[in-house]
A and B are shown apart, each in its own frame.
Chain A
């Protein structure tokens, strides 16, 4: 397409004012234990700031209207839907995303059990479930089935039918209570030459 020139361009510029563009404001928060300080637009949504500016891409966008739960994060330990929160609202607060659940290379029990019990298939809803469940287990390390279901009722999963997610939570709860530590993921893998020293 050729762009028109002369009068037309002039006219169109006059007819269409430029985007006003919201005011930029400084924003600070502690994301996964790290102090973050950014300049954000005053109307910025927390989900966008986390994905586009902070870089925590584990926070997923599924619906933009609070129906799927994929964008769940913890704000001061409480689950929130980051697509329905203005970044300004959480100024100076502590935010935990799925990236903040593991302790270095030690997975959080619920992460480990999601792998083991099939709580995650395609994995897109997984980060949302994990932060919500981690908050549940923080408050109540031994939830019963109904408590588990109540905790995750705001999260949609299209693959698992939830059953293996509930199983994973139960297993994680047992693991938490037992106090057993999960192995670091960087421990040596199988020796291809068993019997010989590595």
Chain B
């Protein structure tokens, strides 16, 4: 820019008569609007807030306003007054009602669709079929296998074939009935084991990447370290074949969508979405229009839990119908349709093998997970990895072997659900550790405490773990539950059990990975002369309180009360791109982005204050709506004064902040799956009562400790912990998607799909552990998904403690448990289940060794978390390897293998047998 241009730009500075501030530096009559709350200011900044986990890079931004205080959700008044608008509450003038024609067959080729009767029905305005949208979409760019409506084939009962828009619901339903479709029924696949075999008409054809002629959607093989030699050292081994039934999110709000093409030809899609950005992309692909022609408006979301995170075909349908008819179209699901769209947790066969050596170390984990993906890929590519890689921590392990496969079957698609991919295999690991501890005659909590990775370490798979509060979680639940007086000491029918969890806090690599390194999250701030702060974020508030946490972060940095922050997060037109509410990434990434945006504004305010008061910036602090000298609080200005000064010649202050994960991880195939900038840890103790005569299990009490780094909003964190317990308890005791003999889903309603009611819910004592993550916003990590993991194994282990029976299928319904009780009675030749022996524990010599090691490790961990210069620590040190060098660099034969050897393929495990097929492009004679 030339000087001349500069003069031109700032020419209005020279306006005559410009008045300076009347009372510069006055700060008003009160020196403080509210005194700084020293209890909330960290010790490193001269406050009174203890920092047992050390300082944090955000310490100097703490103004003591809202972060760390229990805070009502900023949108809660809309919710409690009924004013919150969810998907079906969007009522546009002149709307049409859309209904979907769904397949009555599991698997069939569509021969013809006759719309004539339906089109002739008065009141029917438009009908669309697969011909109207031929482009494929899917949440992951590598596995796009869905159509808006069936093209050629339907792949499960409830698969979409056509959709109708009519003047009212009755007409639309009648039109659906009038559409005549001819099918050729194909052989359907329901047992996921059949999905591993070659089939005549695979459910999808992946072209040259297709694996054999089978229905294998994804297969994973991973081997780290010397599993064979490690197994030789084992003195205790656990092996169990699990079956986990599928579960559904069962969010109370059924999916609903409204599509409206405005007069300028742009589409606004109103939808309760967790991930507006992916719908945005998919819509552009399917409708063949540029993304900027679409505005995705996220309504209030009536519960997501992963069930509203895919781009959905009904969203495409509404858009297509609205385009054809020239009028807004609203499609609302009934409860049954929610089960047809599903995306719930995968039904899984998991074989878990754990090995422990004579020193009580976990020398090997071998996992084999076959998961049932249903008819579409959804997030399955990732789920297949997560079933393995997410149990390589928090324990230090000798060697790790994982085989996983996901198959297509003719069922509603499985997808991401709270605790994505980690829940089932975590349950298997934790139950395995309970069993191993019993074999070694040691306390399972002592066993865990003696095998934890330290802070700032790398897992066997190369994940960078920063803060770890696992030890504190275990110690807290042990103490508060009275573990030592109860474990293996209670009478028959009463039991207590422990389970742990480990989960990602955001995904290191975004799904739509961009070589230009787009940030994961961006937040824009705008402050005009009124002083209120408008925050634009794309973070989707789905009830977890993301709007609140972003508002809190901004309020904290700027020293403002929460009511001065306004969150605009609904529309893609105004919000910066955000990848959405999944992988527990929102607090971590969006709050970080919000903090960096707020820091920009903060600097402007400090500059302005410094200019007014002539105090150097480093002498200034921000308090409640006031900026003043640290050494002389009487000298300062009010927030509005500083703001107006900063706005001189600029007008509204705007700032943008972004967050991107640092480069991390190893380079092997699949190394990115499970990589996260931070990880959360949790430990639960559950106390149960089991009726040995009926097999009925009642969870009485739960102590739930979760390391969320720092509870920005303790009220919401506790809500997440208790809510996770509720959802996990459903999966472990009562919830399952039941498929009948012919593959029909039998419980597509909330009467037969049993969510725990208030009476089933135990009292949960939420315990927040704050490990102060160095990279998290103010130290925070996730709290939304991780807390679900430990409740399943805790209940399973408690049932064992109560009656000595180990289950291998979830949920533990009374009939299933009773069968196991009967079997146990037969084995022990006992007539009356009331005579079953309760498991008891007599400590072996190993117990002392473990306790001693745990004590040493506890000291090591405390040193590591406070030390400023931390030596690298790679998994394997416990087994005598050099912790400072990655194990594959120390020992050439210690290798990361991602392709099975021929030797393995001679006798593969269940999911491992997916590798017996050859990918088409690698077959001889084929290109």
| A residues lining the B interface (CB < 8 Å) | 1, 3-4, 8-9, 12-13, 15-16, 18-19, 21, 56-65, 67-68, 70, 97-99, 101-102, 107, 111-112, 114-118, 120-127, 130, 149, 152-153, 155-166, 185, 189-196
Task: State A70–B250 Cα separation when bound (angstroms).
Answer: 13
B416: Cβ under 8 A from any A Cβ:
no
**Cross-chain contact A98 with B81 (CB below 8 angstroms):** yes
Evaluate contact between B116 and A124: CB separation under 8 angstroms. no
Nearest to B752 among chain A residues (CB) is: A67
Return the CB mask of B555-580 against A: 1 if under 8 Å, else 0: 00000110110000000000000000
* Given contact pairs A19-B174, A115-B76, A62 touches B81 in the complex (Cβ within 8 A): no
A-B residue pairs, 8 tightest by C-beta: A195-B28, A58-B82, A122-B543, A123-B79, A124-B302, A194-B33, A192-B531, A161-B726
Provide the residues of chain A in CB contact with B81, threshold 8 Å.
58, 98-99, 101-102, 107, 111
In the complex with contacts A114-B80, A122-B252, A161-B761 CB distance below 8 A? yes
Give the size category of B's interface with A: 35 or more
- Nearest B-chain residue to A163, judged by Cβ: B722
A67 and B119 in contact, given A57-B85, A114-B80, A121-B544 (Cβ under 8 angstroms): no
> Using Cβ atoms and an 8 Å threshold, which residues of chain B touch A56?
82
How distant is A14 from chain B, measured CB to nearest CB, in Å? 11
- Point out the residue from A64, A126, A162, A193 that lies within 8 Å of B334, measured CB to CB: A64
A58 CB contacts on chain B under 8 angstroms: 81-83
B613-647 contacts to A, CB under 8 A, are: 624-626, 638-641, 643
Are the C-beta atoms of B115 and A158 separated by less than 8 Å? no
B694 CB-CB contact with A under 8 Å: no
Task: Tell yes or no: B927 within 8 A of A by CB.
Answer: no
A166 to B120, CA, bound (A): 54
B66-120 interface (Cβ within 8 A of A):
70, 72-73, 75-86, 88-89, 91, 113, 115-117, 119-120
A104 CB, nearest partner CB in chain B, Å: 11
A190 touches B725 (CB 8 A): no
| A61 touching B758 in the complex, CB below 8 Å, given contacts A192-B531, A195-B33 | no
| B→A interface (CB under 8 Å) | 26-30, 33, 70, 72-73, 75-86, 88-89, 91, 113, 115-117, 119-122, 127, 129, 131, 170-171, 174, 178, 249-254, 300-305, 332, 334-335, 530-532, 542-545, 560-561, 563-564, 624-626, 638-641, 643, 715-716, 718-719, 722-727, 749-751, 755, 757-759, 761, 763-764
Determine the distance from Cα of A60 to Cα of B643 in the docked complex, in whole angstroms: 44
- Bound-complex Cα distance A130 to B72 (A): 17
Enumerate 18 A-B pairs (CB-CB under 8 Å) in ascending A order.
A57-B91, A67-B750, A121-B73, A121-B544, A122-B543, A123-B75, A124-B251, A124-B302, A124-B303, A153-B757, A158-B251, A161-B722, A162-B726, A189-B561, A192-B530, A192-B564, A195-B26, A196-B29
**B77 in contact with A63 (CB, 8 Å):** no
B334 and chain A: residue at smallest CB distance: A64
Q: How far is the CA of A152 from the CA of B761 in the complex (A)?
A: 12
Q: Is A159 in contact with B530, judged by CB distance below 8 angstroms?
A: no
Q: Can you name 10 extra interface pairs (CB under 8 A) apart from A61-B332, A99-B82, A156-B750?
A: A3-B120, A9-B120, A62-B254, A98-B81, A115-B80, A118-B70, A153-B757, A160-B722, A193-B639, A195-B29
Measured in the bound complex, the distance between the Cα atoms of B561 and A151 in whole Å is 37
| Bound: A166/B719 CA distance, A | 12
Chain B: CB-nearest residue to A12: B117
Which of A13, A115, A149 is close to B72, meaning CB atoms less than 8 Å apart? Answer: A115
User: Across the interface, which residues of B come within 8 angstroms of A195, CB to CB?
Assistant: 26-30, 33, 638
Q: How far is the CB of B644 from chain A (nearest CB, A)?
A: 9
Partner of B115, one of A1, A13, A65, A155: A1
- Bound CA span A185–B78, Å: 12
What residues on B are CB-neighbors of A112 within 8 Å? 80
Closest to A159 in B: B723
Whether B302 pairs with A60 at a CB distance below 8 angstroms is: yes
B80 x A65 contact (CB < 8 A) = no
Asked whether B716 lies within 8 Å of A70 as measured between CB atoms, the reply is no
Cα–Cα distance between A150 and B213 once the two chains are bound (Å): 55
Q: What residues of B have a CB within 8 angstroms of the CB of A97 in the complex?
A: 82
Q: List chain A residues, Cβ under 8 A from B113.
A: 1
Contact A120 B79 (CB under 8 A): yes
Contact of A122 among B254, B301, B724 (CB under 8 A): B301
Of B80, B116, B252, B751, which is within 8 A of A62 by CB? B252
A193 lies within 8 A of B763 (CB): no
A126/B79 contact (C-beta < 8 A), A156-B757, A193-B28, A195-B30 known = yes
> Which residues of chain A come closer than 8 Å to B84, judged between CB atoms?
123
A192 to B76, CA, bound (A): 23
A160 contact set on B, CB distance < 8 A:
719, 722-723, 726
- Measured in the bound complex, the distance between the Cα atoms of B641 and A107 in whole Å is 35
Closest to A56 in B: B82
| Contact assessment for A126 and B72 in the assembled complex, using a CB-CB cutoff below 8 Å | no
**Cα distance A2–B335 in the bound complex, in angstroms:** 33
- Nearest chain A CB to B708 CB, angstrom units: 15
Q: Which residues of A contact B254 (CB under 8 A)?
A: 61-62
Say yes or no: B120 contacts A122, CB within 8 Å. no
A37–B120 Cα distance when bound, in Å, is 34
Of all chain B residues, the one with the shortest Cβ separation from A112 is B80
**Nearest chain B residue, comparing its CB with the CB of A99:** B82
Q: Are the CB atoms of B252 and A124 closer together than 8 Å?
A: yes
CB distance from A137 to the nearest CB of B (A): 14
Indicate whether A164 sits within 8 Å of B719 (C-beta atoms), given known contacts A19-B174, A195-B638: yes
- A65 & B761 in contact (Cβ 8 Å cutoff): no
Which residues of the other chain, B, contact A194 by a CB distance below 8 angstroms? Answer: 28, 30, 33, 624-626, 638
Min C-beta distance of B205 to chain A, whole Å: 26
Q: Is the CB of A64 within 8 A of B335?
A: yes
Complex Cα spacing A43 to B78, Å: 32
Q: Is B750 in contact with A68, judged by CB distance below 8 angstroms?
A: yes
Residue of B nearest to A152 (CB): B758
- Let me know if A13 and B120 touch, CB within 8 A: yes
Report the separation of the CA atoms of residues A20 and B120 in the bound assembly, to the nearest whole angstrom: 16
Q: Is the CB of A127 within 8 A of B82?
A: yes
B120 / chain A contacts, CB cutoff of 8 Å: 3, 9, 12-13
Beta-carbon nearest neighbor of A102 in chain B: B81
Q: Which of chain A's residues has its CB closest to B127's CB? A: A1
Given the complex, which residues of B lie within 8 Å of A102, measured CB to CB? 81
